[in-house]
Amino acid sequence: MKKEWIEMKKINIGWNFDNSYIHLPEKFYSKQGPTPVSSPELVILNKSLSKSLGLDIDILQNSGIGILAGNEVPEGTTPIAQAYAGHQFGHFTMLGDGRALLLGEQITSDGRRFDIQLKGAGRTPYSRGGDGRAALGPMLREYIISEALHYLNIPTTRSLAVITTGQRVIRERALPGAILTRVASSHIRVGTFQYAAAYGSMKDVQLLAEYTLQRHFPDIAFHEKRFTLLLREVIKKQAQLIAKWQLVGFIHGVMNTDNMTISGESIDFGPCAFMDAYYPGTVFSSIDTAGRYAYGNQPQIAAWNLARFAETLLPLLHENEDKALNIANEEISNFKTIYAYHWLNGMRAKLGFFNEEEEDESIVTELLNIMEKYKADYTNTFRNLTLGKLEGMDIFSTAEFLDWKEKWDIRRKKENKSKEESNQLMRENNPAIIPRNHRVEEALEAAEKGNFSIMEKLLDVLDHPYEYSPQQEEFSMLPPASACSYRTFCGT
């Protein structure tokens, strides 16, 4: 391991590190210290997350900045870059942490375990010619989006802090450098299993699977059919996750297999964005020219990725190849049903339905078709339905919508709950605001010039997306026409 960092002074910040991942074979990682930076300065610290991790906020944002910059390493850590592979836009390649280092796992007072990773901490053996650094804009984007997802009640990795490095990074132009501290249940990916299967032995795959079971699914870790159950649980988690994405109009942008976690958390927020006008073919990523990862394709892509995960487990599912394939196919085939169940139940809640009725799916589908026809804003359509303010949007004056509303009103009368309870259900499931793309860009542009107040104001309202407060009104407004051809770019 490189000794390029300054050893941390024993300051009682609250770090309680372990690193169970290094007990896997060394082919799964490379021991690597972060490369120090010249002039680290704290941009933002996630105080609520710091508190939940058991960290002393005052010390962390002062003398603890060196850790967030990679200039100091806490006692008990063994920094590593993790190896993994993956299908990127359908093409398999060797990957790995090219600019991220896992410091270790923070153990909280209640025994929970969280990965603490520095993103943008310097070159690693997997950098593939890259500089190992990150620019401020993409790191703040990840902070904003991951926090927005968290408060939307969507499983996600989170951001503990962003610091500037005092150094420039060269992308299309010279940009201020930054490091993001990411917190995750783990960074085990579908691509980690693909790496083990492609570049290791079957024993390596089994060791990784056993480790994953003990870390994320301890209740089934010693079950006779634990590997089948592992596949089943990951499928369930991903079906639930993608349904939640679809319900708020979130588009990940790069659903490569290395960006799908085994824990079921959203991860890696490069060219991600939230949909404005409802259109299943919506793509924001500048590199997704064929629309592989469009909004409407996300469920199918998730199933495809999970099939790649199942392939790595085949020898563990059954010693007979044909029977192993049958087991895998049967489990993967359940994804569509599980996803549809969670999506439709979520849509019922968005429309104020507690009960399940036969016509529910057709009511939902008809509304979405009308929204697509009239290019209605996805979030604000449901927001206005929740508020009972059917004005200010072209869709609400159309014959198709008025006909649909009559069916919706009839359907709501079938509920065994009061109208007030139905309205409250809608408020709890239809966010009043999302991180509008033009608002995110406004915050990032200001931040690159040293003004962080716009970002801070945005984060304040995103922390309570279901509040429907007067302060949120301006953040629910649609972008100007000039911003409607929005494109996002990968931070690398």
Q: Which amino acid is it at 279?
A: Y
Residue with token string 């010039």: 449
- Report CA dihedral (244, 380, 367, 342) to the nearest 10 degrees: 10
Residue 392's φ and ψ, nearest 5 degrees, are 80, 0
Residues in contact with 14: Cβ distance below 8 Å, sequence separation at least 6, in sequence order = 53, 54, 55, 56, 60
3-state SS track over 301-369: HHHHHHHHHHHHHHHHHCCCHHHHHHHHHHHHHHHHHHHHHHHHHHHHHHCCCCCCCCCHHHHHHHHHH
Of the chain, the end-to-end C-alpha distance in Å amounts to 25
Q: Could you tell me the sign of the dihedral formed by the alpha carbons of 52, 116, 95, 308, in that order?
A: negative
Residue with token string 């999506």: 343
Give the 3-state secondary structure of residue 220: helix
Q: Decide: 275 and 436 in contact? Cβ < 8 Å.
A: no
Structural tokens at position 257: 């297999």
Calpha distance 447→454 (Å, rounded):
8
Q: Decide: 373 and 393 in contact? Cβ < 8 Å.
A: no
Residues in contact with 84: Cβ distance below 8 Å, sequence separation at least 6, in sequence order = 95, 96, 97, 189, 191, 192, 194, 195, 258
Residue with token string 């480790």: 211
Of 258, 268, 276, 288, catalytic = 258
Structural tokens at position 458: 């945005």
Q: Decide: 453 and 44 in contact? Cβ < 8 Å.
A: no
Q: Is 258 in the active site?
A: yes
Instruction: Supply the angle between the helices 202-216 and 190-199 in degrees, to the nearest 10.
Output: 160
Residues in contact with 312: Cβ distance below 8 Å, sequence separation at least 6, in sequence order = 193, 194, 196, 197, 205
Query: Which residue from 437, 279, 304 is spatially nearest to 369, judged by alpha carbons?
Result: 279
**What are the DSSP calls for 426-459, one per residue?**
HHHHS-S----HHHHHHHHHHHHTT--HHHHHHH
Active site residues: 258
